[in-house]
């Protein structure tokens, strides 16, 4: 008697097709690139992210900067959309400011104050003003940098989506290029989903409390004004929130590439120092590539450093002045006390993040510099090459605290710990002085 197979080839192929479909669906839901087509799926995902971000006013020219053309919309469309966003933002800003400062009931009716009877209305409007101003300012800064050709996340993504990409052209090895493509595909895929869901989320956040409040009131004119003005508030918030999600995605993808570049460099240096067979030509090419990378990153790091340090010192100085003059005023103690307490908590949290992330980054840079020292001592290298390596080490340390040549070894996490303790003491005093008003 013949032995028949337990399943026919047709049934087997159906099973394989089902497994393949489930696998593709799983990869799609997780935001992972297609198996076997990493670079192609990454390029498609970056293009989709660029197109979606252009809709929400994140970018003007696209990833290819200074090309003089608009890939997804004409100049007229961009200007019209920009005009409406700016107009609605200004209307919403002045309306919120008026509702927070003016107590006349008729003004609140005509401006559609759905929170007029709420005790926390002033706090909510103040937070809305701060949020709207921050989102608007960050968006305008990035659009200006893009139009000037200085927003560097665009350049990296433009290189990554080029066909037949050479990993060495962006300072990555082949293995780190694979990691970069996978992570960027993941961020871009979920970024597109977040930008598409942001409008519905913001509409729910803004409109749901207003509709719930209006259901308790029986004044048709007041309800009409509330719904009308909520439209002028929802539109700018939707665009700014979705747009800043898109900008955050560009910065995250740029940060991924920068970190992987550093890891790739560290791996290359460690491997070279272990082999002890580097020739001067290889060292020169490596040092030149790193110096060009440091030139590219230096301005960004300096801007971030001065921006963060300046903001923290200004806020700490304001806290000292307010403590000295007793500016925790009895006009609206609950509102002022809550805002100051939140301010202190946010700054302490931000300082803690600065210590954690910058400390790790400095340790990584320091280990890289130690490897270069080993190369210099282990090889018979010319004076010119040693000078280049010393220049490289100084440039790597340069963006931090304006240190001079030879100071790199003294700049460790201790610097950030001291910085945290000095400013945290002021913020703690600030918060402690507010506690009395919070208890009342």
pLDDT truncated to tens, each residue of the chain (440 aa)? 444 444 454 444 545 555 566 666 666 666 677 667 777 788 888 888 888 887 777 777 666 655 544 454 456 677 787 888 888 888 888 888 888 777 777 777 777 776 666 667 777 778 888 888 888 888 888 777 777 766 777 777 777 777 777 776 677 777 888 888 888 888 888 888 888 887 887 777 777 767 766 666 666 777 777 778 878 778 888 888 888 888 888 888 888 887 888 777 777 666 655 444 445 555 666 666 666 666 666 656 655 655 666 666 666 556 555 555 554 444 455 555 566 556 656 666 666 666 566 555 555 555 666 666 666 665 566 667 667 666 665 555 444 444 444 444 444 455 555 555 555 655 555 555 555 544 44
Residues 6 or more apart whose CB falls under 8 angstroms from that of 252 comprise 187
- CB contact at 8 A, 152 and 300: yes
pTM exceeds 0.95: no
- CB contact at 8 A, 244 and 135: yes
Q: What burial class does residue 99 get, using C-beta atoms within 10 Å of its C-beta: 0-12 exposed, 13-18 middle, 19+ buried?
A: buried
| 345-364 as b/e: b if 16+ CB within 10 A | eebbeebeebbeebbeebee
Residues 6 or more apart whose CB falls under 8 angstroms from that of 207 comprise 230, 234
| Structure-token match 């970069």, residue found | 180
Q: Enter the tokens of residue 354.
A: 């600065």
**Distance between CA 323 and CA 430 in Å, rounded?**
7
SS3 172: coil
Q: Where are the chain's structural domains?
A: 38-261, 276-440
Closest CA to 160 of 30, 44, 292, 36: 44
């Amino acid at each position: 008697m013949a032995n028949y197979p337990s399943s026919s080839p047709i049934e087997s192929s159906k099973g394989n097709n089902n497994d393949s479909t489930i696998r593709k669906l799983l990869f799609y839901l997780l935001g992972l690139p297609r198996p076997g087509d990493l670079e192609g799926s990454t390029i498609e995902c970056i293009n989709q992210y660029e197109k979606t971000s252009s809709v929400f006013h994140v970018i003007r020219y696209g990833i290819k900067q200074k090309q003089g053309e608009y890939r997804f919309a004409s100049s007229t469309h961009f200007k019209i959309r920009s005009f409406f966003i700016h107009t609605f933002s200004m209307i919403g800003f002045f309306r919120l400011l008026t509702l927070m400062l003016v107590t006349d009931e008729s003004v609140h009716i005509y401006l559609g104050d759905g929170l007029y009877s709420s005790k926390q209305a002033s706090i909510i409007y103040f937070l809305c003003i701060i949020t709207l101003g921050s989102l608007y300012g960050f968006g305008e800064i990035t659009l200006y940098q893009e139009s000037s050709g200085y927003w560097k996340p665009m350049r990296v993504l433009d290189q990554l989506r080029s066909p037949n990409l050479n990993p060495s052209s962006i300072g990555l090895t082949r293995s780190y290029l694979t990691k970069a493509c996978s992570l960027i595909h993941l961020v871009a895929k979920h970024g597109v989903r977040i930008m598409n869901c942001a409008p519905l989320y913001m509409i729910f956040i803004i409109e749901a409390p207003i509709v719930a409040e209006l259901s308790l009131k029986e004044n048709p004119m007041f309800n009409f004004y509330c719904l009308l003005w909520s439209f002028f508030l929802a539109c700018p918030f939707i665009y700014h929130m979705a747009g800043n999600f898109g900008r955050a995605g560009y910065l995250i993808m740029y940060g991924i590439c920068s970190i992987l570049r550093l890891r790739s460099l560290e791996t290359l240096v460690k491997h070279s120092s272990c082999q002890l067979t580097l020739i001067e030509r290889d060292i020169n090419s490596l040092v030149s590539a790193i110096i060009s990378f440091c030139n590219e990153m230096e301005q960004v790091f300096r801007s971030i450093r001065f921006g963060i340090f300046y903001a923290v010192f200004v806020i700490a100085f304001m806290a000292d002045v307010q403590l000295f003059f007793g500016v925790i005023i009895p006009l609206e103690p609950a509102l002022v006390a809550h805002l100051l307490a939140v301010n202190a908590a946010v700054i302490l949290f931000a300082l803690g993040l600065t210590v954690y992330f910058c400390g790790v980054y400095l340790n990584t840079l320091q280990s890289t510099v130690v490897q270069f020292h080993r190369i210099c001592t282990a090889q018979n290298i010319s004076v010119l090459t040693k000078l280049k390596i010393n220049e490289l080490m100084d440039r790597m340390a340069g963006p931090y605290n304006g240190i001079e040549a030879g100071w790199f070894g003294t700049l460790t996490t201790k610097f950030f710990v001291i910085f945290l303790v000095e400013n945290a003491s002021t913020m703690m005093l600030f918060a402690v002085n507010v506690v009395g008003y919070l208890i009342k």
